[in-house]
Amino acid sequence: MNVLLQIDFPYSGPYGEEMAQAFAGLAESIAQEKGLIWKMWTENRETGQAGGIYLFEDTASAQAYLAMHTARLESFGVQGIRSRVFAVNEPLSRITKAPLN
């Protein structure tokens, strides 16, 4: 069963193309995480937030990534990290064109 992980946190930039350049190496690393199917990077300059929506193969992979990523963000001094883990209803999600395997 696929599992969706949502993470967001306060973020002051960079955004857009500058963010893409600054974090390309991190994106390559995240792409290798066990159980990761995909990640969508999120940013909101107006509210000062960034984060991501992740799809994992299973709950164990999502929880392991969440623990590691939370520790990494906290080591950078990031506070106010919010996260949620959801089971994916695949039959309904396929009807509404979700990018599932």
Tens digits of residue pLDDT in 34-50: 999 999 999 999 999 99
What pTM was estimated for this model as a whole?
A: 0.92
Cα separation, 12 vs 70, in Å, equals 18
**pLDDT, tens digit (0-9, with 9 covering 90-100), for 54-82:** 999 999 999 999 999 999 999 999 999 99
Domains of the chain: 3-95 (3.30.70.100)
